[in-house]
Amino acid sequence: MTGDDRVLWTAGEIVCVMISCCAGAELQVRRREEILLRELYPSKSDLYARARDLRAEYNDDAERH
């Protein structure tokens, strides 16, 4: 991770991070160094809402396995 990364949540080996930039923010879901999902958002509030939804999905998946 770089200095601009902000960890939003973790679930086992999965990490969700926000990377701020001048045009908004980027959401990434990673497993180790592999990027599983990458999405760009014009506002941080939209990114946070998506991160909450993803956290619920990944936590549900982790509980089933």
Q: Quote the mean pLDDT of the chain.
A: 89
Asked if pLDDT for residue 1 goes beyond 80, the answer is: no
Which has the closest alpha carbon to 50: 23, 18, 5? 18
Asked if pLDDT for residue 16 goes beyond 90, the answer is: yes
Q: Model confidence over 21-55: pLDDT tens digits?
A: 877 899 999 998 899 999 999 988 999 999 999 99
Q: Return the amino acid letter for 17.
A: V
Residues 6+ apart with CB under 8 A from 36: 14, 29, 30
Asked if pLDDT for residue 58 goes beyond 80, the answer is: yes
Q: What is the pLDDT of residue 6?
A: 95
Work out the number of other CB atoms within 10 angstroms of the CB of residue 39. 14
